[in-house]
Amino acid sequence: MNREVAREICLTQPEASEDFPFGDHVSAFKVGGKMFALLPVKSETVSLTLKCDPDRAETLRQKYAAVRSSPFHKRHWNRVFLDGSIPAREIEEWIEDSYDLVVDKLPKLQKLRLQGQVRGITK
């Protein structure tokens, strides 16, 4: 997986947006104003930082050398190096899981709307 594919997957999540709150060197992908992924714009080594359940985060770090704790928040975020050692489908699932973790913490009506259970509510 490369940067462009990771970016596209992030942006295909319902109502996901790309923002640059830390400067033009890193994309932050958000839903409901909350981040679910960080992706450097230009870097020698492409990596993707994703929110993750703390227990699963540790398991993934032990299983894959390309998955490390993130300096962003070591317990809840993983930094995944897109070096080809992890199947693209797994990374796509991790992006979706990160998105879902953020959606689960949004206000109830917004969460239900994003999960497709309520239509037309904007709050």
- pLDDT tens digits, 17-64: 999 999 999 999 999 999 999 999 988 889 999 999 999 999 999 999
Please report, to the nearest 10 degrees, the dihedral formed by the alpha carbons of residues 13, 62, 76, 28 taken in order.
-40
| Phi, psi (deg, nearest 5) at residue 102 | -70, -45
Is position 122 within any domain? no
- 26: its two tokens: 């890193």
pLDDT band at 69 (very low <50, low <70, confident <90, very high): very high
**How many domains does the chain divide into?**
1
Window from 23-27, 54-58, 69-73, 85-89 with minimum mean pLDDT: 69-73
Is position 100 within any domain? yes
Domain with 103, as residue range(s), is 3-114
Residue 68's SS3 state is strand
Is position 45 within any domain? yes
Is position 14 within any domain? yes
pLDDT at 122: 47
What is the pTM assigned to this prediction? 0.89
- 2: its two tokens: 């490369």
